[in-house]
């Protein structure tokens, strides 16, 4: 698993991806139940694991630094999504050189978890903004995945590699 520039030395032991619909139930005349579908809930990813070894505290601090802002979260099943970190907790253990951690990421309801990396090559006629619209990908994701492209509004050179997700 990887978030932004931090690669987990060992995948989390527990990983729960929760999503669903917002449903409201109202009661009408004669005991009738009226169900309203209010759209998608935000997707939440919770996880728990541990860092161990002499560098366990350093690993935790490196992850903590990466969780200062949103970024690409690569899940163990080779899917990736733009995620916003909500919390990171450190749980100390009685065992020396072991730090347990818990995290929670939030995903925009409109974002979809995508299969891992898709790469295309530029035909020299589009910029990242165009590609964002063509593929329906958040421009922030494209900019983060393609740091070699200096400006999202510049036409990309022919055969330049573009990572979509």
Distance between CA atoms of 62 and 4, rounded to whole angstroms? Answer: 11
Distance between CA atoms of 59 and 157, rounded to whole angstroms? Answer: 38
CATH architecture, range 2-107:
Beta Barrel (2.40)
Can you give the pLDDT at residue 86?
95
For the chain, what are the domain ranges? 2-107, 117-163
CB 42 within 8 A of CB 107: yes
Can you give the pLDDT at residue 164?
80
Q: CATH for 117-163?
A: 3.10.350.10
Can you give the pLDDT at residue 110?
59
CB 50 within 8 A of CB 63: no
* Predicted model pTM: 0.62
Residues of the chain with pLDDT under 50: none
Distance between CA atoms of 79 and 92, rounded to whole angstroms? Answer: 30
Can you give the pLDDT at residue 114?
56
């Amino acid at each position: 698993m990887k978030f932004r520039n931090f690669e987990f030395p060992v995948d989390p032991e527990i990983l729960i991806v929760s999503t669903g619909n917002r449903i409201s139930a109202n009661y009408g005349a004669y005991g009738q139940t009226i169900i309203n579908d209010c759209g998608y809930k935000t997707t939440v990813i919770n996880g728990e694991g541990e860092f161990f070894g002499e560098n366990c505290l350093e690993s935790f601090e490196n992850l903590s630094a990466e969780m200062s802002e949103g970024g690409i979260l690569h899940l163990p099943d080779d899917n990736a999504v733009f995620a916003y970190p909500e919390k990171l907790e450190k749980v100390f253990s009685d065992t020396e050189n072991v730090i347990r951690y818990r995290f929670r990421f939030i995903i925009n309801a409109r974002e979809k978890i995508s299969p891992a990396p898709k790469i295309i090559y530029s035909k020299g006629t589009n910029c990242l903004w165009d590609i964002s619209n063509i593929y329906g990908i958040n421009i922030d994701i494209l900019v983060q995945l393609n740091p070699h492209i200096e400006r999202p509004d510049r036409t990309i050179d022919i055969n330049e590699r573009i990572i979509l997700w």
